Structure 1
């Protein structure tokens, strides 16, 4: 096909039809020792095999919510007695490694921020910020701007 067949006069360059896609910033990674990286991966593997803990009698009553409650009462509570065929009970053995408890899956420590002043005492190498849901649009923009200047990773920047 020639350029005239496409509806483009000779000598003109065709205009791009594809809109420019905004560049995505690379997400910051924390500087962690090899041991912590290994433990983060181990925590992920453990949590994949961790069962879903269900409340006793959730299958009988619609009014109950599916949130774990420790089975303390009654002589014949099958979950407390750990009977075969009933859901598993929460135990210490299901926990993850102590060194990485409470860390975000990326390896940063999560910090809830509700004002620009909250950013001052934090270290961008080990803290990631989550902006509070109670913060309005104007103040949220100010926090994001200041956090990007300081080099923080924002967990809920919104796009």
Structure 2
């Protein structure tokens, strides 16, 4: 079964651009994340009078800024073009519009209920992003 979202021509162009930019985007790490074990690499804004990262010196890693943001029309969309909806049970599938939205089954859902959700989604024509591998 083929799943294609209903997008405008402009949204298709922007989604293609977003996916291409996301593939090339650098990873942003916290300043000196490699130096101390107590720091994880999740981004923190560099603050400090003598910070080389804050002053954007060229030999340092890139800093998060507004230029890296995706276009508003396709912000929050899955790379396939569907908007993601988190699903915990079969009843929540009835609220999904199959033309615009796809389902992501919550990680807390067990195998048996997951199989039920997937079979019901197939009947309703809803795309599931994290299908169980059989």
- Give the whole-Å Cα distance in 1 for the aligned partners of 2:39 and 2:60: 17
- Give the whole-Å Cα distance in 1 for the aligned partners of 2:69 and 2:57: 22
Q: Which residue of 1 aligns with 2:103?
A: 129
- Aligned to 1:106, the other structure's residue is in SS state coil
1:48-84 superposed Cα distances (whole Å, 9 cap, x missing partner): 3322212111232233222111112x21011111122
Flag structure 1 segments of 5+ consecutive residues without an equivalent: 1-25
Moved over 4 A (4+): none
User: Alpha-carbon deviation of 1:140?
Assistant: 1.3
Is residue 2:70 matched to residue 1:96? yes
Is residue 2:119 matched to residue 1:153? no
In terms of mean alpha carbon deviation, does 33-42 or 60-69 score higher? Answer: 60-69
Is residue 2:23 matched to residue 1:33? no
Task: Identify the match of residue 81 of structure 1 among 42, 55, 68.
Answer: 55
User: Alpha-carbon deviation of 1:120?
Assistant: 1.4
Q: Which residue of 1 aligns with 2:30?
A: 55
Flag structure 2 segments of 5+ consecutive residues without an equivalent: none
The TM-score normalised by the length of structure 1 is: 0.78
Q: Which residue of 1 aligns with 2:117?
A: 143
Over alpha carbons, which structure has the higher Rg?
Answer: 1
Larger RCO: 1 or 2 (CA < 8 Å, sep 6+): 2
The TM-score normalised by the length of structure 2 is: 0.91
- Aligned to 2:85, the other structure's residue is in SS state strand
- Give the whole-Å Cα distance in 2 for the aligned partners of 1:116 and 1:60: 47
